[in-house]
């Protein structure tokens, strides 16, 4: 489980598009304009229905901007969490599922998120299971298990 509940945001980022059936905001606007253009003049579109569609469009746009803001906030939270681990002794899991304990000496930021570094070893924030002050393995200093 990722630190602090921060994890894969791909499901969150796709939510607004799934609600529209993969219809983007531009396509929605084009459909709305086409509906107005080709309506029967003898039976015009109900004003309340048009207002409801406009309100739905506004809600979708607001949701899209909220998702973008949440994604940015998660990125900052991950960066702050990773930065707090520099100088800490970290227990993490490698790709094979084997645990290892190292002292983080620096970190790198990539497009995928922060990468913790200990000498030549690099690992993601998601692989961290516990971190503590160096030399605290005997339980004399506080540690955080994840």
pLDDT tens by residue, 93-124: 998 999 999 999 999 999 889 999 999 999 99
Segments making up each domain of the chain, as ranges: 3-81, 87-145
* Strand, coil or helix: 7: coil
Q: What angle do CA 47, 52, 58 make, to 5 degrees?
A: 125
Fold of 87-145: SH3 type barrels. (2.30.30)
In the structure encoding, which two tokens stand for residue 5, read together? 């509940």
Partners of 110 in the β-ladder: 113
What's the mean pLDDT in 22-47?
74
In the structure encoding, which two tokens stand for residue 99, read together? 């645990």
Residue with tokens 């994840």: 146
pLDDT at 74 over 90: yes
Partners of 131 in the β-ladder: 90, 144
Paired sense of beta strands 113-118 and 106-110, if any: antiparallel
Whole-structure pTM value: 0.56
């Amino acid at each position: 489980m990722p630190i602090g509940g921060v994890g894969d945001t791909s499901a969150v980022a796709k939510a607004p598009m799934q609600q529209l059936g993969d219809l983007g905001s531009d396509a929605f606007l084009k459909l709305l304009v086409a509906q107005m253009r080709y309506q029967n003049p003898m039976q015009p579109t109900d004003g309340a229905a048009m207002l409801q569609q406009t309100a739905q469009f506004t809600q979708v746009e607001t949701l899209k901007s909220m998702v973008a803001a949440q994604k940015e906030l998660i990125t900052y939270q991950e960066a702050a969490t990773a930065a707090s681990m520099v100088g800490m002794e970290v227990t993490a899991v490698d790709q094979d599922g084997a645990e290892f304990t190292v002292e983080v000496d620096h970190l790198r930021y990539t497009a995928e998120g922060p990468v913790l570094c200990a000498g030549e070893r690099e690992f993601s924030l998601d692989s961290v299971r516990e971190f503590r002050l160096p030399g605290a393995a005997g339980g004399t200093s506080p540690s955080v298990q994840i």
